[in-house]
Amino acid sequence: MHRSMLAAVALLALFPSTRPAHATDFYGGKQIHFVVSSDVGNSYDTFARMISRHLPRFVPGNPSIVVQNMAGAGGLRATNWLYNVAPKDGLTIGMVNNTLAFDPLYGNKQAQFDAAKFNWLGTPSQETALLIVWHTVPVHKLEDAKTRELVLSASGAGSTPAFFARVLAALFDMTVKIIPGYKSQTESFLAMERGENDGNASPFWSSLASEFPHWISEGKIRPLVHYGSARNPEIPAPYALDLLSDPEQRAIMEIAQAGLGMGRPMTLPPGVDPEKTAVLRKAFTSLFKDGEFLSECKKASLNCSTPMSGEEMLAFVQKIYHSPRAAVEKISTIYMEGQQSR
């Protein structure tokens, strides 16, 4: 018996255990691929590269992180890829455009994913957007746009700026003309300075504060209304929900602005081991509280003050997908107007 036990132990020593390693042991010596659904240089990319420098400190095993840009179709290319093609081994994460989680709700057939099945990891912020005009435009408040047409820039008829221009026009009875074709927000802003358009319906307040702070301090832009998950007292313009008393109109605005509540959403593909998802969610939650990370956010004028955990993001997505049917149908109609005019 004794000799048999020794032989068994010796035999086991020849064959390493096939038991899968715990997720807390998995990331040591590994490399995480961080896919960003935008071009190099914009605020999504800036966030991703900053996060990639700090996140390894909070992941057991201290893996390296490589950022890869996958722009295209307004971020839809990368989002579809993450859902349908990306490896499900816990080594590929993505930062997707925040409005895209709700494209399937709006009826976009090109959005080939179920947002509730993504393994959301968290966001460092929730964003606020606003309707702005250049300071020389003779529109000083939202009511003025009911009688004076606003010429607003957009990258395309179905783009986010065009979508919000149509939403705001419908809810506040404004007269709006959308000028599509600008290759980037920067290009549309340059055209605004030259007087080729009046303004834009959806820049982020945090991006303006980071990239064009002099516009704010010198009064070069005039905010007419702002919207997002919460009222922002820094913005000298009314909050959209404060101007809407009709329940259906409020529901329409809440659905439309839901993407801003997602902030800079980061996710794993569906089907990743729940233990690995939990490890990364914990790492992101710790990162968003880290003094060194928050200090760099402040230096870069990036908003990192309103984080959400992956669990909170999933609950938020599920809530929006259960919005009142009438409001969803109205938003879908507004959204599809842009898709049909492409």
Q: Widest CA span of the chain, in angstroms? A: 97
Tokens encoding 161:
């700026």
Q: Strand, coil or helix: what is 292?
A: helix
Tokens encoding 216:
């704010």
φ, ψ of residue 205 in degrees (nearest 5)? -60, -40
CB atoms within 10 A of CB 271: 12
Distance CA 338, CA 341 (A): 5
Instruction: Give me the domains of the chain, ranges plus CATH numbers.
Output: 26-125+262-322 (3.40.190.150), 128-259 (3.40.190.10)
Q: What is the pTM of this model?
A: 0.85
φ, ψ of residue 93 in degrees (nearest 5)? -120, 165
What's the confidence (pLDDT) of residue 55? 98
Distance CA 160, CA 103 (A): 11
CB atoms within 10 A of CB 85: 9
pLDDT (tens place) for every residue of the chain, 342 residues total: 455 554 544 444 444 444 445 777 899 999 999 999 988 888 899 999 999 999 999 999 999 999 999 988 878 999 999 999 999 999 999 999 998 999 999 999 999 999 999 999 999 999 999 999 999 999 999 999 999 999 999 988 888 899 999 999 999 999 999 999 998 888 999 999 999 999 999 999 988 988 899 999 999 999 999 999 899 999 999 999 999 999 999 999 999 999 999 999 999 999 999 999 999 999 999 999 999 999 999 998 888 999 999 999 999 999 999 999 999 999 999 998 877 655
What sign has the CA pseudo-torsion 142, 147, 151, 156?
A: positive
Q: Strand, coil or helix: what is 200?
A: strand
